[in-house]
Amino acid sequence: MAGLNKNWLRVVPWETVVSINAALCDARNALHKPTSDGYAPAKDLWERNRLRQISLPELLQICFQCHRLAPFCNYNGNTFVTIVKTLLNDELNRLPPDQAHILRSIAGHIVAGTATDIEEKQLDSLLSVLEKI
Amino acid sequence: MTAAENRFLKEAVKQGLRMQHRFLAEPVLARTGKGYLKSEGVTTLQRIKASLKTSKSKRRNGRAE
């Protein structure tokens, strides 16, 4: 499934990712610092995809991979889940509120690394609804 | 930073702070291969469904919303 191809990351330069993490760490007095092994590959992955047309499932995978690479010492999960949920806001307006809530939740679970097989299947059916609207 | 990028940053930080209590600070996914996210529960979805049901029944009864 192609699934909503667009330039999803156009409004999210890497500096914004860093600023989001800094704000989240600051709120909890946690250390905001790049990691020695994860920062460079995550930044590279992000920049390679930033100006590309990508599908929604690809977007979720990119954010999941960046989360897994752990570019920051703290709050990697919240940083990338937040980005996906915020990017989805406009698209979700096209869905009924209950389905929008479910899609938003599944997207968050996928990026957080806690999605179940059932949720992955549910994502496909919600995307096909979204494509028809 | 463009206006759209700036708007996105503000919205994202707001969203992130709202759900921060559901995350752990440490990089759990990188260390274990399995992420962590505290469940939001079904309350929000139940509330959405209840409000949809209410507005549907109001429409059926011909009442203005």
Q: Is residue B65 part of a domain?
A: no
Interface of A with B in 74-133 (CB under 8 A): 74-79, 81-83, 85-87, 89, 96-98, 101-102, 105, 108-109, 112-114
Instruction: For B35-59, write each residue's pLDDT tens digit.
Output: 999 988 888 878 888 888 887 777 7
Q: Is residue B43 part of a domain?
A: yes
- Amino acid letter for position A68: R
Show the domain range for B46.
Answer: 3-60
Q: Cβ of A55: how many Cβ atoms within 10 Å?
A: 16
Pick from A11, A73, A109: CB nearest B37: A109
Instruction: For A36-95, write each residue's pLDDT tens digit.
Output: 999 999 999 999 999 999 999 999 999 999 999 999 999 999 999 999 999 999 888 888
Domain count, chain B: 1
d(CA A62, CA A20): 17
Domain annotation for chain A: domains and CATH numbers:
12-132 (1.20.120)
Predicted TM-score (pTM) of the model is: 0.89
Task: State ipTM.
Answer: 0.90
Instruction: For B4-39, write each residue's pLDDT tens digit.
Output: 999 999 999 999 999 999 999 999 999 999 999 998
